[in-house]
Amino acid sequence: MALYDPVREELVKADPEKGSFRVHRNAYRSAEVFEQEKQQIFAKCWLYIGHDTELKKKGDFHARRVGGRDLIFIRDKKGEVRAHYNTCTHRAAKVCRERTGNARNFTCPYHGWVFSSEGNLVSQNAQTGYAEGINADKHLDLRSVDRLEQYRGFWFVNYNPKAISLYDYLDGARDQIDALMDQTEGQQIILSGEHTYSIRANYKLLCENSYDGYHLFPVHASYFDYLRDQMVGTPGEGLIDKTLATYNSAGCARSLGNGHAVLDSFVPTGRPVAQWLPSMGADTKDEIEARYANLVSRMGEERAKYIAECQKNLVIFPNLVINDILSVTVRIIEPESENKIRVTAWAMGPDDESEQLRALRLDNFVSFLGPAGFGSPDDIEMLEICQDAADHTPIEWSEISKGFGKAEDPLYAEGAPDDEIQMQAYWTMWDRVMRGIDTLETR
Amino acid sequence: MNRAGVEDFLFYEAELLDAWETEQWATLYTEDALYEVTSPACEDPAGADARNTLFLISDRIDRIRGRATRLTKKTAHAEYPRSKTRHMITNVRVTGGEGDETKARANFAVFRTKEDTSTIYMGEALFTLVETANGVRIRHKRCTLDLNSLYNQGRLTIIL
């Protein structure tokens, strides 16, 4: 990356009077900036590790990499959720080599040290040689992350012991999580199966893309063609163009504090939560309408309408995406380097929906989302050509100005669906955390 | 159908795909067809059901045709410029079937080159073929991948 300056003093430039908001491309392409991000962003922000419903039974675990650190996300044999570092306290070997499973203990394969699901060292596999009480101070127990907290079943870790609470960190994003979890009287669960794929792009490019209303028509033209073709000769014919014509006036982009933001929009894909469309088939109509009536009785008409009909693309700073659109996806973006990411995505749905509705939800998911859908791969291609071009041209700045300058505080702004105020919120927070202006610590 | 007949047919399907004759490829599928690719980490790829587990691909005939048509367009950005592919089909076995239906399995390796990056999708395909007045058609094709993730391949935007 010798072509470019090293870390610059100022990577985000905002001039509200001129309506100009720019991000230096080193923020996407510089290995030095990525090293700084590991310290400033990924060691200070709350990072999503998994959902409570992924740990159904005592002993259930998932081995996950979160912010570059390998963790065991486990419900211990007493029922408590924990996140241990996946490394033996003896000489570093991984104690868990499976991606997922159920365990009462973890035995290190190297020298046979045994740790309980709670992380306690229970055997050093040696009769002699160790002084008595060598682990009296517990330093040989499996090390756990400094902070592990949950909001409505979404578990997050924080590597900074002084971090503000997850509750405070989520700020306005809590209301979005509420809107998702309140879809059902039962429980929202992570469904069986996952998508795991990679993208040769900076993690922030995928965050930007995940709630970008501006890219919809150029990038997803072939998807809308497909939807139109599906509806020819059905009562839904013409609905696509009618709804898309009001796309930019019907919804909004809102920033929710601490760099989080949501895009509220209306796209005629149908929503298994409680919005039925003819394309979803007559056999699901009654159930979806009953679910809507139930929503109204629990939440009131206005909130029910928002929950049922509005498509919500939420990014929780810095790397969690929850898209509640034609299906619900929970997506984490794990950076490997400044220009490579791993993505893991799950489907979420209510545990009390019928088999037909569950099938429809998953069918909707794969029609657009994931590495083989009709939507996400075209997004991925855009991110890769952004990264490749930023890496191999000397142009310094990217322009993220659309809709900028109207709000007092970019962290709490509102704009049209195809504005870029959600990204302005993200980058404003990123800049503050990177420069230590906001430490995200309790005072 | 015997093994040689199944092989000839699967080689023809592969030839259409490598030539990017995707719309012609879609005509090989019956009206009640299902084309599926299970997720790489799927615990039981042969027994899994797309109605309750997240797959990579689960296309009935409308989406098989939609996928085929989409791939002919410049706006299918993920495959523009088009990648080069080579489908290798081996170890073909007839495993059962009755009446006009034949069940078969085959191993596959599909090589894909996009720009200057080459990757491989390898695994096993399970077929239900049916002999019709218009020739052999596919009623069900399920591809299971010998992968744990798509970290090396990135995405799956070609047809296996």
Fold of A171-434: Naphthalene 1,2-dioxygenase Alpha Subunit; Chain A, domain 1 (3.90.380)
Q: What is the mean pLDDT of residues A20-35?
A: 97
Q: Taking residues B40-66, what's their average pLDDT?
A: 96
Hey, what are A281's tokens?
């088939």
| Cβ-contact A24, A395 below 8 angstroms | no
Residue A181 is encoded by which pair of tokens?
A: 């979890």
Indicate the residue of B48, B63, B80 with minimum beta-carbon distance to A367: B63
Task: Tell me which chain B residue has its CA closest to the CA of residue A194.
Answer: B54
Contact A365 B40 (CB under 8 A): no
Partner-chain residue, chosen from A197, A222, A347, that has the shortest CB–CB distance to B54: A347
* Interval B133-144 mean pLDDT: 97
Dump strand ranges (E) for A117-272.
Answer: 121-123, 147-151, 154-158, 188-190, 195-199, 252-257, 260-265
Asked if A99 lies within 8 A of B53 by C-beta distance, the reply is no
pLDDT at B41: 87
Domain ranges of chain A: 50-158, 171-434
Residue type for A269, please?
T
pLDDT at A325 over 60: yes
CATH number of B3-145: 3.10.450.50
Two structure tokens written together for A189: 């669960």
- Residue-wise pLDDT for A364-399, tens only, equals 999 999 999 999 999 999 999 999 999 999 999 999
| Contacting residues of B for A386, CB less than 8 Å apart | none
Judge contact between A309 and A291, C-beta under 8 A.
no
Chain A residues with CB inside 8 Å of B56's CB? 195, 366, 370-372
Residue ranges of chain B whose CB lies within 8 Å of a chain A CB:
37, 39-42, 48, 50-58, 62-63, 66-67, 69-70, 73, 75-78, 80, 148-157
Contact criterion met (CB below 8 Å) for A229 and A222: no
Q: How many CB pairs lie under 8 A apart between chains A and B?
A: 123
> Considering only CB atoms, which chain B residues are within 8 Å of A198?
149-152, 154
Q: Is the Cβ–Cβ distance between B123 and B91 less than 8 Å?
A: no
Q: Report domain extents, chain B.
A: 3-145
Chain mean pLDDT for chain B: 97
CATH class of the A50-158 domain in this structure: mainly beta
pTM (two decimals): 0.96
The torsion defined by the Cα of A264, A268, A272 and A276, in degrees rounded to 10, comes to 130
- Asked if the Cβ–Cβ distance from B70 to A193 is below 8 Å, we say no
Residue B87 banded pLDDT, cuts 50, 70, 90: very high
Calculate how close chain A gets to B3, using CA atoms only, in Å: 31
Mean pLDDT of A259-270: 90
| Residue A280 banded pLDDT, cuts 50, 70, 90 | confident
The CA distance from B52 to the nearest CA of chain A, in Å, is 6
pLDDT of residue A104: 96
Averaged over B107-116, what is the pLDDT?
97
Residue A8 has pLDDT above 80, yes or no: no
Our CA-based measurement puts residue B160 at a distance from the nearest CA of chain A, in whole angstroms, of 11
Kindly state the DSSP code that residue A142 receives in the 8-state scheme.
Answer: P
